[in-house]
Chains A and B, each alone.
Chain A
């Protein structure tokens, strides 16, 4: 799914090119679609932990295989992609 995002106007998605090294391809799915998909690995969950706007039906787009069954689904792309590893403040408090 992330491969669809990369060349499109959705700049900044898929920064690591689908190798489980970022969370910029974070997508939010309908509950029904989410339930259809396979189990989430620890590795994917570790990166989802850092995704902006994490929901109960979030997945990393690069880990979702598109198939005929998924034709017609709606995928929501969150507004920001700010990884939780960024901090609000600018470095150490003085």
Chain B
């Protein structure tokens, strides 16, 4: 029984080699960068391991598809590597399968020698201030999901009929949001931003974006590439408080190179008098952006009819501590800023997937040692944001995933992980899913969605026009 289910076809591209019935089988939960990089390392290192990736959505690639900004298409080139992995003879992709709901982690552990949890962070940290639930307040996760076509955020309908938007948080995600809010539509219209988002942005009244952080310029969390993009954004000018930058210039000489270059650029933009062409460019710019430092949100202020955000009350901070370890302390002073849109960009957050999987409720990650899940039986691993926390770029996740794969392979070699038994792998899971009326989307099915999106995009001069609805994705997948 087991051997007849060991013949794998990698889509239309030809027969997979049939692994021995007793080949080690690994299941990966989550089809984003962590899942794919973990899979890649496993199949490349051991010639006998079979890896199956399960993904809740019909489409693969996670935040590469739904998080990376539309105007950063080069960052998405990693999808080509992921595609190669998915098409590998000993790897298979199963979309439209919700682990924890359609199949339990325990059932996966029965079908596979090892299960790797790579399902990322689908929640977000909340502000915990009054007014957070008013209309006009969104998490950056939802706003980004909206312009990137994440089905859950399809009906977000952000109201952009206000002049000022306040973004809380100063990381790269905050800068992405600011840039998308202020980019000329002519730039956005040839990207893979969704059409509804493009239409909404074309009608937007937002002319001023403030990017607020609780500490100072030397703690600025974004990186220089993203700052430079804001500085060079056509039709915009920077507007910052010179007083925020007192005492900064003299610190430059002791800063390490990355922080030094970032701070130099920041000072140049915020404080220096620009030369003539730049001055003219700024004076004719109709949109403005700026960082506001030493400010923490205290309350989001409602409109007169109490239905929507009309402003934000910010506490004024000062810094305590020294060097790398500086923290904000409130001075007691507050400041109200009028605004109609508040985007909180203070971090994503992982959620527990299944009662059988240990979860740290304080750190919001799966407790682990080098990717081996703690406080449970052998055979459970994790990689990516659910392992380390939701920070870092794709390359960070890549290294992290390789580390987990190495741990798993080591355990196989050492015998800590028993791979001598015969396991049914995806055949076992398919049986369970069939009984529950769940039909997986294979990688060749995704390729039909991919092809349809590219076709629709071509008609509009875009790399793709994303399908926004799971039902529509499934219809195309199973044509």
The 3 closest A-B pairs by CB, nearest first: A91-B389, A19-B74, A90-B389
Chain B positions 180 through 205: 1 when the CB is less than 8 Å from some CB of chain A, otherwise 0? 00000000000000000000000000
Q: Is the pair B362, A94 in contact by a Cβ cutoff of 8 Å?
A: yes
Residue of A nearest to B385 (CB): A91
> B17 → chain A, closest Cβ, in Å?
21
Q: In the bound complex, what is the Cα–Cα distance between A85 and B224 (angstroms)?
A: 11
Residue of A nearest to B391 (CB): A87
Chain B positions 63 through 107: 1 when the CB is less than 8 Å from some CB of chain A, otherwise 0? 000000000101101101100000000000000000000000000
Q: Is the pair A21, B77 in contact by a Cβ cutoff of 8 Å?
A: yes
A15 is an interface residue with CB less than 8 A from chain B? yes
CB contact between A83 and one of B80, B262, B393 (< 8 Å): that residue = B393
Q: Is the pair A49, B223 in contact by a Cβ cutoff of 8 Å?
A: yes
Q: Is the pair A46, B228 in contact by a Cβ cutoff of 8 Å?
A: yes
Q: Is the pair A91, B364 in contact by a Cβ cutoff of 8 Å?
A: yes
Q: Given A83-B395, A83-B396, A90-B363, are A16 and B77 neighbors across the interface (CB < 8 Å)? A: yes
Residue of B nearest to A20 (CB): B74
A:26-84 near B, CB below 8 Å:
42-43, 45-47, 49-50, 54, 80-84
> B445 → chain A, closest Cβ, in Å?
26
A8 is an interface residue with CB less than 8 A from chain B? no
B:339-398 near A, CB below 8 Å:
347, 362-365, 388-396, 398
What chain B residues lie within 8 Å of A80 (beta carbons)? 399
Q: In the bound complex, what is the Cα–Cα distance between A84 and B40 (angstroms)?
A: 23
Q: In the bound complex, what is the Cα–Cα distance between A15 and B68 (angstroms)?
A: 14
Q: Is the pair B402, A19 in contact by a Cβ cutoff of 8 Å?
A: no
Say what secondary structure dominates the interface of chain B.
helix
Q: Given A45-B261, A80-B399, are A17 and B80 neighbors across the interface (CB < 8 Å)? A: yes
Beyond the given A46-B224, A85-B223, please list 16 additional residue pairs across the A-B interface where CB-CB is below 8 A: A11-B40, A21-B72, A21-B77, A22-B395, A23-B395, A24-B398, A49-B262, A80-B399, A82-B395, A82-B396, A83-B392, A83-B393, A86-B392, A86-B396, A86-B399, A91-B364
B44 is an interface residue with CB less than 8 A from chain A? yes
> B418 → chain A, closest Cβ, in Å?
27
CB contact between B225 and one of A17, A47, A94 (< 8 Å): that residue = A47
What chain A residues lie within 8 Å of B44 (beta carbons)? 11
**Residue among B75, B80, B228, B395 facing the most chain A CB atoms (10 A cut-off):** B395
> B308 → chain A, closest Cβ, in Å?
29
> B265 → chain A, closest Cβ, in Å?
9
Q: Is the pair A90, B388 in contact by a Cβ cutoff of 8 Å?
A: yes
Q: In the bound complex, what is the Cα–Cα distance between A82 and B398 (angstroms)?
A: 9
Q: Is the pair A12, B398 in contact by a Cβ cutoff of 8 Å?
A: yes
B435 is an interface residue with CB less than 8 A from chain A? no
What chain B residues lie within 8 Å of A16 (beta carbons)? 74-75, 77-78
B:106-151 near A, CB below 8 Å:
125
What chain A residues lie within 8 Å of B347 (beta carbons)? 91-92
Chain B positions 221 through 260: 1 when the CB is less than 8 Å from some CB of chain A, otherwise 0? 0011100100000000000000000000000000001100
> A38 → chain B, closest Cβ, in Å?
20
B41 is an interface residue with CB less than 8 A from chain A? yes
Q: Is the pair A85, B389 in contact by a Cβ cutoff of 8 Å?
A: no
Q: In the bound complex, what is the Cα–Cα distance between A22 and B75 (angstroms)?
A: 8
Q: Is the pair A49, B399 in contact by a Cβ cutoff of 8 Å?
A: no
Q: Is the pair A87, B392 in contact by a Cβ cutoff of 8 Å?
A: yes
> B12 → chain A, closest Cβ, in Å?
24
Q: Is the pair A82, B258 in contact by a Cβ cutoff of 8 Å?
A: no
Q: Is the pair A91, B391 in contact by a Cβ cutoff of 8 Å?
A: yes
Q: Is the pair A85, B402 in contact by a Cβ cutoff of 8 Å?
A: no
CB contact between A82 and one of B125, B257, B399 (< 8 Å): that residue = B399
CB contact between B391 and one of A11, A49, A86 (< 8 Å): that residue = A86
Residue of A nearest to B362 (CB): A94
> Can you name 21 A-B residue pairings with CB atoms under 8 Å?
A11-B41, A15-B81, A16-B75, A16-B77, A19-B74, A21-B77, A24-B395, A43-B228, A46-B261, A49-B258, A54-B257, A83-B393, A85-B391, A85-B393, A86-B392, A89-B389, A90-B391, A91-B389, A91-B390, A92-B125, A94-B362
What chain A residues lie within 8 Å of B224 (beta carbons)? 46, 49
**Residue among B80, B81, B125 facing the most chain A CB atoms (10 A cut-off):** B81
> B473 → chain A, closest Cβ, in Å?
27
Chain B positions 205 through 226: 1 when the CB is less than 8 Å from some CB of chain A, otherwise 0? 0000000000000000001110
